[in-house]
Amino acid sequence: MSRKISDEKYEKTLSFRLKRWFEGTKDPFLDTVEMKPQKEFRETKEEKEQRAKEKQQLLERVYDRNHNKEILLFRKLYRVVSVLFCLCLVTVLLVAVSFLPPLGDADNPVNNEVPARYIESGLQETGAVNIVTGMILDYRAFDTLGESHVLFIATCTVLILLRRDGDKKKKQEEVSDRLHEPKNDVILQTVARVLVPPIIIFGIYVILGGHLGPGGGFSGGAVIGAGLILYLNAFGFKKTERFFTAKTYKVMCFGALGCYCLAKSYSFYTGANHIESVIPLGTPGAIISSGLILILNICVGIVVAGTMYTFYVMFRKGGY
């Protein structure tokens, strides 16, 4: 049985040093390296002029850009190669275009069974009078879901890069949001009071009628986003943030994207397993028709409107 050594002897052993190093309780360089506070670097006017003069002499004598033969030769070759590359690129593009089939030819690759299916069976299969909406939100709904997520991720990236620090003192000092915009403009506010409600209503109309005619979630959401931006410019951040904040945007987008995912997951599951969907297509031409397309249009419109407004706010103010 080994004897227990004293603490003084144990502290002199290699195992004790390794243990302290491994646990991080002892810095091997502490009290062994001389540490002196660094003086603040200050440069006089004469020293700045001397440094600039030396830099200029270095450029003139060592590099000599205007008389160096290698640099002059490289510049000439660069220009010649650039011209030749552009000419070759133009030639390749012209040759490629010359082999394209004539416009409107029946044998063109675009005239295949896919667009024929959209045109001939789109109304029957999707219930949407607008063939483009039926294609985007039914046949290609998964791709549209990806586009909506791209908008949301782009907005999150802007929120991260342009966010402002939550300094309470700065917020208390910033009583008025007119630091970021001019003072009250009577003409702009009067026009906004008249135009903003019709703009919002028209955007809702474009979204709700997207499956019946031109429009949809992308265009209607852009209209609503423009109305919100006009209201912000007229009345400022303080009034706008009474009903639309960063939290509002997050809840709206999460809810819209979640609803979109659930709705299309159901469609994908039933379609992939040849199961009859319980959601009726309705009467073509009616406002409540085309199955889930109306709901998907609303979801896309919410995401687009919120993204437009949030982008504008972040690039202008840097935060809500």
3-state secondary structure of 201: helix
User: For 214, which DSSP code?
Assistant: S
List the structure tokens of 210.
């997207």
- Whole-number Å distance between alpha carbons of 319 and 246: 8
Cβ atoms within 10 A of the Cβ of 73, count? 10
pLDDT digits (tens), the chain, 320 positions: 456 677 777 777 877 777 777 666 666 555 555 556 667 778 888 888 888 888 887 777 766 667 777 878 888 999 999 999 999 999 999 999 988 888 777 777 777 778 888 888 888 888 888 888 888 888 888 888 888 888 888 888 887 887 765 555 455 444 445 555 556 788 888 999 999 999 999 999 999 998 888 888 999 999 999 999 999 988 888 888 888 888 888 899 889 989 988 988 888 888 778 788 888 888 888 888 888 889 999 999 999 999 999 888 888 876 66
Angle, in degrees to the nearest 10, between helices 246-272 and 141-162: 160
- List b or e across 294-307, with b for residues whose CB sees 16 or more CB atoms inside 10 angstroms: bbbbbbbbbbbbbb
Strand, helix or coil for residue 3: coil
Angle at 239 between CA 237 and CA 245, to 5 degrees: 65
Model pTM greater than 0.85? Answer: no
Contact 297, 133 (CB under 8 A): yes
Distance CA 11, CA 200 (A): 77
Total count of residues recorded for the chain: 320
Q: SS3 breakdown of the chain: % helix, strand, coil, rounded to 5?
A: 70, 0, 30
DSSP 215: -
Give yes or no for a contact between 217 and 210, defined as CB atoms under 8 angstroms apart: yes
Burial of 207 (0-12, 13-18, 19+ CB in 10 A): buried
Dihedral sign, CA of 233, 235, 238, 239? Answer: negative
Instruction: Check residue 173 and give its pLDDT.
Output: 44
How far is 159 from 314, CA to CA, in rounded Å? 7
Q: How far apart are CA 157 and CA 151, in angstroms?
A: 10
- Alpha-carbon dihedral angle through residues 150, 151, 152, 157, given to the nearest 10 degrees: 90
Cβ contact 213:207 at 8 Å = no
- Which residues, in sequence order, are CB contacts of 219 under 8 Å at separation 6+? 206, 210
Joined tokens for residue 16: 């004790």
